[in-house]
Structure 1
Amino acid sequence: MDELDTCQHTLEQFKKSLECYINQSYIFVNIDTALKMIREKSEQKFAVVTFDDVPLDAYEKAVPVLLSMQIPFTFFITTGYIGTEGFMTEAQLKKLDNQELCTIGAHTKSHPMLRKVSNSFEELKESKEILERLLGHPVDYLAYPFGRQSSISHKVMKQAEKAGYKCAFGTIDATINDLSSKSLYYLPRIVRK
């Protein structure tokens, strides 16, 4: 599982990163397929391209590249950022959601360090509900803000399951393997900045 972040990359570097994975025999899949491959313990090397928050630059620059290369991708949305400066609007989010290659996931309402707030369950549940109302379909996947073990507790992982997510992602700098796939509510993602 890998996250490719264009915030610090030029478009040319972003394209080269994608091509590098292809040249190393990775296949790019959406999260539904990744979850199936994890459960089946697939031997195939795969990557999922993800973006956190709702950055306008990723929408304007990375999405056209991904669409032209036919690579699936996921945007994990911080609902409190929608429509604020530097982030996507509701209309852009709906347009993006209509792309067959795009999956929309949740990234909480206000991007808190969930381990340290008393309303962590509300952050998880309400961001899911807001996105589902806006998009008109279930939102099944979550990426934790900050994503490190120090920012997520076992309680928060249980809350993610209770809120109705199928799985959740952290930012452990590792690939998915037999050990990491035992906890679908704390899957690793490699962050590229």
Structure 2
Amino acid sequence: MSRNLLTPEPSSRLDRGLVDLAGRLLPRICKGGVKGRLSILIFHQVLSEPDPFRPEALDAETFHWQIALLAEHFNLLSLPEAMERLRQGTLPPKAACVTFDDGYADNANVALPILLKHRVPATFFISTGYLDGGRMWHDTVIEAMRLMETDLLDLSDSLGQRFLSGTIHEKRRSTRRLIALLKNLDPSDRDALIDQIIEPVSSVLPTDLMMTSEQVRMMHKSGMTMGCHTVTHPIFTTVRMDTVRQEIQQGRAELESLLDEPVTLFAYPNGRPFDDYQAEHVRLVRDLGFEAAFSTARGVATQDTDDWQLPRFTPWDRIPSRFMARLLFNGFHTASTRVPLP
């Protein structure tokens, strides 16, 4: 790994100094034992190179220094071990876990070698319906806009809007608008609109964005944990309860068939309490026998946290000192945002 961001030249010494200061403060905030505080990080993609159509996705160099900092300043545990020790009150100080959602192929091709180099365990929550050549719906929109050769995408009849698609900047803005509009639609309505959008480029869309079944097995054999993330990643508040149950049960069964062992961890698609899942969904996950489930609410987990609404947060920052500051700040907050259960 290039160390310019971690051991910088004099012009960047301030950044390194702030990183070290945050590291010294962490044990005071992220305590261990019965008052233990567990930080759970969530990642999605790790691209080999930056992609202008996916500005939020990490590239390999950024992920590398982030994992190096985590390994230097935290006690990184596998998620199953961390959950057991959290319940027992035996967490070490500065306890943290790394998780990934969805099942992107770059998790195996790019992220895994970095994790193994630093001996960092991670949990991967897999949406099984996209393995072996599938695509998540928002990726279909992104890739269709990337390939679009017209200057205007006219969806006046369906969405009442038109989208500029001439330059890369227009395509990026239009992609963000489209995803925001489509996100909370009923999945069948959303997919029908996406079929309309991709029609001119459907034959050349990529089929290698998500993992293969063999990659899932390979990652598990390398020591990584696999968790359930449904089949097709529906936002639970947009579909019927029987659909939610079927998505969870089928996703779990498919993953267990691949791994030949029980799958005991679950992550809610999108994961925001109230907006994306509600009390009946938490009860269903619990009643289906999962040992723990994870949201995308910020904060750290403690012994008082609901085991089926454990918090995770995304460290977006691309500067080491800000990355460490966000981890430190998150450590102050226990998981207060959760759906109350009767």
TM-score after normalising by structure 1? 0.91
Amino acid at match of 1:90: S
8 Å contact from structure 1 (residues 2, 175) kept in 2: no
Residue 43 (structure 1) shift: 5.3
State, as a whole percentage, how many aligned pairs show the same letter.
Answer: 28
In the alignment, does 2:278 pair up with 1:153? Answer: yes
Partner residue of 1:187 out of 287, 310, 316 = 310
1:178 shift after superposition = 4.4
Distance 2:61 2:97 in 1: 19
1:14-93 equivalences under 5 Å are 14-24=63-73, 26-41=74-89, 42=91, 44-84=93-133, 85=207, 86-93=209-216
AA matched with 1:87: M
Question: Is 1:173 equivalent to 2:329 in the alignment?
Answer: no
Q: Secondary structure at the match of 1:48?
A: strand
Paired residue for 1:96, among 208, 215, 219? 219
CA gap of 1:99–1:22, structure 2 versus 1, over 3 A, is closer
- Alignment partners' CA distance in 2, 1:58 and 1:129: 22
Amino acid at match of 2:66: S
> Residues of 2 paired with 1:52 and 1:15: CA distance?
18
Aligned pair 1:140/2:140, yes or no? no
Query: 1:127: which partner in 2?
Result: 251
> What's the CA shift for 1:46?
1.4
Q: Deviations over 1:52-110 (max 9, x none)?
A: 1110112100100001111101110001111122001111111111112x000010011
In structure 2, what is the Cα distance between the partners aligned to 1:55 and 1:23?
26
For the Cα contact (< 8 Å) 2:256–2:263, is it kept in 1? yes
Which stretch shows the higher mean deviation, 7-16 or 117-126? 7-16
Q: Distance in 2 between matches of 1:54 and 1:171?
A: 17
For the residues of structure 2 that align with 1:43 and 1:135, how far apart are their CA atoms?
30
Residue 21 of structure 1 deviates from its aligned partner by 2.4
CA RMSD of aligned residues (A): 1.5
State the secondary structure of the residue aligned to 2:314: strand
Report the Cα distance in structure 1 between the residues aligned to 2:283 and 2:233, rounded to whole angstroms: 18
- Aligned partner of 1:28: which letter? L
> Which position in structure 2 is the counterpart of 1:106?
228
Q: Secondary structure of the residue that 2:123 maps to in structure 1?
A: strand
Secondary structure at the aligned position of 1:21 is classed as helix
Partner Cα separation in structure 2 for residue 51 and residue 43 of structure 1: 22
Partners of 1:170 and 1:143 in 2: CA distance? 6
Q: Find 2:238's aligned residue among 116, 124, 137.
A: 116
Alpha-carbon distance in 1 for matches of 2:109, 2:117: 13
Change (3 A) 1:22 1:68: closer
Q: Is residue 141–residue 168 contact of structure 1 (8 Å, CA) maintained in 2?
A: yes
Q: Which runs of no fewer than 5 residues in structure 1 stay unpaired?
A: none
User: Once the 2 structures are TM-superposed, how far is the Cα of residue 115 of structure 1 from its aligned partner?
Assistant: 2.3
Structure whose alpha-carbon radius of gyration is higher:
2
**Shift, 1:10, TM fit:** 2.2
SS at match of 1:190: coil
Q: Which segments of 5 or more consecutive residues in structure 2 lack a partner in the other structure?
A: 1-39, 48-56, 134-206, 317-342
